[in-house]
Amino acid sequence: KNQKQTQPPGPRVAVTSISFGKSAILREKLRRVFPNCYFNEQGQRYSGAELVDFLKDADAAVVGIESITDQVLSETPQLKIVSKYGVGLDSIDQESLKRRNIALRWTGGVNRRSVSELTLCFMLGLCRNVFGSGYLLKQSKWEKEGGWQLTGKTVGIVGCGHVGSDVIQLLAPLQCTLLVCDIVDKSKFCQKHNATQTSLENLIIKSDVVSLHIPLTPLTIKMVNKDFLNQMQTTAYLVNTCRGNVVDQSALKSALMQGKIAGAALDVFAEEPPSDEEFLSLPNLIGTPHIGGNAKEAVEAMGQSAINHLVSFFGNSPAKS
């Protein structure tokens, strides 16, 4: 009882996300409306028993990419709401939340420009050999291999949602032939943005760059497999800024080692951080540590969105931006 009295008033909010906790601006904004909050100060991704331990006193959780499983929820019965910091709900057991009457709040596309900028960066960097030649220069090797222009090439966008559609708009000045594959009819969007909706197979065969922008679902898991990669042109590049597990990593590793495709740029991996050093050291693989949605502006937008969802759920007055 005494311990409860020393805590600030209001619902107890636990923030598992590391990048939210690193932002002084977001910490201050959350404290203003929910003074009884605490953060992941360890800077490690919690899972299983550690995650339960972190959440056990919380009424609300602000989560990033932590796995919110049925097991975790069974041991945190006091939880009333999970507010998603970021996008993609593949790590959250939504059925379990429903059964337990725990609210789930999220906003799609809140970090789209951050992810689509990195995607464009990958496309340009692969095509123009920015990464490869820059790496050699650091080893005092002056190799003038400038790749080829992205302008005028055929780019295949797999998944035309928030990010995929934004990538298409960023590509507009480059006069690319744009191919789109989506399970939803995107003909109106394609017409407006000079793109063509086509089958996945046709997109794979024709594209100079294949870029993935799909959610991780039972339909998309390991969608990029050996067959997919074998159909790509040997001069083509693969870009993945969505979810690591939409790619069969061992099939991609083989394809890169055997020169079945020219190269790949990944911001996401099957396991994060990835432990396959041989894979990471491949000269035709570019990797970044899941920074797509982590531009400062996107971090603040994702954080503000997560806070706003808590505010509307608990009925506090919103934090002023």
Does position 138 have pLDDT exceeding 50, yes or no?
yes
Q: Is 243 a catalytic residue?
A: yes
Of the residues 28, 41, 50, 272, which is catalytic? 272
The pLDDT value recorded for residue 8 is: 83
Query: In what order do the strands lie in the sheet containing 81-84?
Result: 37-39, 13-15, 60-63, 81-84, 103-105
Q: Residue 3 — pLDDT band, cuts 50, 70, 90?
A: very low
Q: Which CATH architecture has domain 2-110+296-314?
A: 3-Layer(aba) Sandwich (3.40)
Convert the pLDDT of each residue in 191-203 to its tens digit: 999 999 999 999 9
Task: Give the residue extent of every domain in the chain.
Answer: 2-110+296-314, 112-287
Q: Is 12 a catalytic residue?
A: no
Q: Tell me if domain 2-110+296-314 and domain 112-287 are identical in fold.
A: yes
Does position 4 have pLDDT exceeding 90, yes or no?
no
Q: How much is the mean pLDDT over the chain?
A: 95
The pLDDT value recorded for residue 320 is: 44
Residue 129 contacts residue 147 (beta carbons within 8 Å)? yes
* Residue 182 half-sphere exposure toward CB, CA atoms < 13 A: 22
Residue 302 contacts residue 85 (beta carbons within 8 Å)? yes
- What is the percent of the chain where pLDDT is above 90? 91
* Residue 149 half-sphere exposure toward CB, CA atoms < 13 A: 7
Of the residues 290, 297, 300, 309, which is catalytic? 290
Tell me if the pTM is above 0.85.
yes
Does position 5 have pLDDT exceeding 80, yes or no?
no
CATH fit for domain 112-287, picks 3.40.30.10, 3.40.190.290, 3.40.50.720, 3.40.50.300? 3.40.50.720
Q: Which of 16, 21, 122 is nearest to 79 (CA)?
A: 16
CA distance linking residue 204 with residue 156, whole number of Å: 7
Is the backbone of residue 10 left (phi > 0), alpha (psi -120 to 50) or beta?
Answer: left
SS3 content of the chain, % helix, strand, coil (to 5): 40, 15, 45
Convert the pLDDT of each residue in 202-211 to its tens digit: 999 999 999 9
The pLDDT value recorded for residue 321 is: 38
Worst-scoring range by mean pLDDT, 29-33, 87-91, 139-143? 87-91
Residue 260 contacts residue 282 (beta carbons within 8 Å)? no
Of the residues 112, 113, 213, 243, which is catalytic? 243
Q: Is 145 a catalytic residue?
A: no
CA distance linking residue 222 with residue 199, whole number of Å: 18
